[in-house]
Amino acid sequence: MIDATHAPGLRSWVASANLHSDFPIQNLPLGVFAPPGGLPRAGVAIGDMILDLAAALPGVVAAGPTLNPILAAGAPRRRGLRQLVSGLLATGSPDRARVEKLLYPAADCTLHLPAVIGDYTDFFAGIQHATNTGRLFRPDNPLLPNYKYVPVAYHGRASSVRAPGPPIFRPSGQRKLPEEAAPSYGPCRNLDYELELGIWIGPGNEPGAPIPIARGHEHIAGYCLLNDWSARDIQAWEYQPLGPFLAKNFHTTISPWIVTPEALAPFRAPAFARPEGDPAPLPYLADPADRAAGGLALRFAVAIRTRRMREAGAAPHVLSRVGADALYWTPAQMVAHHTCNGCDLHPGDLFGSGTISGADPGSFGSLLELTQGGRTPLSLPNGEARGFLEDGDEIVFTARAEAPGAVPIGFGACAGVISAPPPAPGR
Ligand code: CA
């Protein structure tokens, strides 16, 4: 639903918001921040500033360090909140003098996870990623026969999902390269990232009550960027027969702002264009409205900045760019599939889309694909080469929503720096 909060001509009295690449007044993403010396609290990003939401709207937003109640309340409540905040921050607002004192420079604040994440599920909806990685193991038959029927996923670990800030410690674990006779325990040698779209779950469902596909969108409370840091050598040794485990649950980084479905309303796009010959989704995954507008007009970018680049003051180097149209399944299809057996979802649950890759190397969402498992290292502009990540490397994801007639919005950065492994456990 497009309303006055999306008007292209709308401007904010917060000067940095106007023409801001991520957070103009048309975005108004929700998060949890702590101002200097203060406790974590709900906030809205506006330009280079953060608005203290509970202080600005007392009696509307409860003071507290998580947004789970807002996620639980669903779309009508979110839309009402968006209209109130837009009114406070719009040029000419009569509340400016009061609200101005409740703004903090984002650069001075600490961003926290926006909600308590009860459960985290990682899908595999990037069909080109599934094909590229499948080809590494099965050159003639890269996609398994279930792929175009089942939105494949595994249950991840919510405890290790973090906002940007803390270092990404190189994990240690069991790894065995094919040429090695026996496994050993030690620091991961093939550390990688995975570019994913994060999906925040809203109201959710009771056990035993599947969410129909046509209502799937009502249970999506917002979106973020997600980096599923992956230890490829640990993964290769441990993943059969039950799938990813310690290769994936040492750290997952998400961008800390929840970009709401309301902010993304002008950027709806058709679902994946299934080529001739692909099976139709089973009826419980098929919905005409979702097919017409269940996707998002989002473009992602992945950039690297090595320690040497940082010390030289060089900007991050873009490794790839890809669109959300590379996802074979829509978020509503993920919700419908996840609950089709009666599994209950809760406010603050998080989905990962799966790695997003396009058809050409400039659009691959992991180093596994970009370097063919490390065999063909990338050359960086300063002469360094990378097969996988080295200590000191920073990976930065960004995203931008663009559509004709709409003010573009972004997600903020999802960034992390690799750090040397923590000490090994004693015997
Ligand atoms: Ca993943």
Q: Which of 410, 365, 304 is nearest to 125 (CA)?
A: 365
- Is the omega angle on the peptide bond into residue 241 within 30 degrees of 0, that is, cis? yes
What are phi and psi for residue 293, nearest 5 degrees? -145, 25
CB atoms within 10 A of CB 10: 17
Tell me the per-residue pLDDT of 227-277, one tens digit each, with 9 for 90 and over.
Answer: 999 999 999 999 989 999 999 999 999 999 999 999 999 999 999 999 999
Mean pLDDT score, 110-130: 97
| Tokens, residue 184 | 């050993």
* Catalytic-labelled residue, pool 6, 129, 217, 338: 129
335: part of which helix (H) or strand (E)?
helix 331-339
β-partners of residue 34 are: 110
Mean pLDDT score, 50-77: 93
What band does 427 get if pLDDT is binned at 50, 70 and 90?
low
Determine the distance from the C-alpha atom of residue 151 to the mean position of all C-alpha atoms in its chain, rounded to a whole number: 18
In this model, does residue 177 exceed pLDDT 90?
A: no
Q: What angle do CA 356, 362, 363 make, to 5 degrees?
A: 15
Mind listing the domains of the chain with CATH numbers? Answer: 4-112 (2.30.30.230), 120-419 (3.90.850.10)
How far apart, in Å, do the first and last CA atoms of the chain sit?
Answer: 59
Mean pLDDT score, 152-158: 97
Tell me the per-residue pLDDT of 198-224, one tens digit each, with 9 for 90 and over.
Answer: 999 999 999 999 999 999 999 999 999
What band does 61 get if pLDDT is binned at 50, 70 and 90?
confident
Q: Respond yes or no: is residue 20 known to be catalytic.
A: no
- Sign of CA pseudo-dihedral 214, 219, 223, 225: negative
For ligand 1, the distance from its centroid to the CA atom of residue 312, given in whole angstroms, is 32
For ligand 1, the distance from its centroid to the CA atom of residue 194, given in whole angstroms, is 6
Tell me the per-residue pLDDT of 375-412, one tens digit each, with 9 for 90 and over.
Answer: 999 999 999 999 999 999 999 999 999 999 999 999 99
For ligand 1, the distance from its centroid to the CA atom of residue 177, given in whole angstroms, is 21
For ligand 1, the distance from its centroid to the CA atom of residue 225, given in whole angstroms, is 12
For the chain, the maximum distance between any two Cα atoms, rounded to a whole number of angstroms, is 73
Q: Which of 144, 122, 118 is nearest to 131 (CA)?
A: 144
Q: What percent of the chain stands above pLDDT 70? A: 99
**Whole-number Cα distances in Å, 137 to 126, 149, 183:** 17, 21, 20
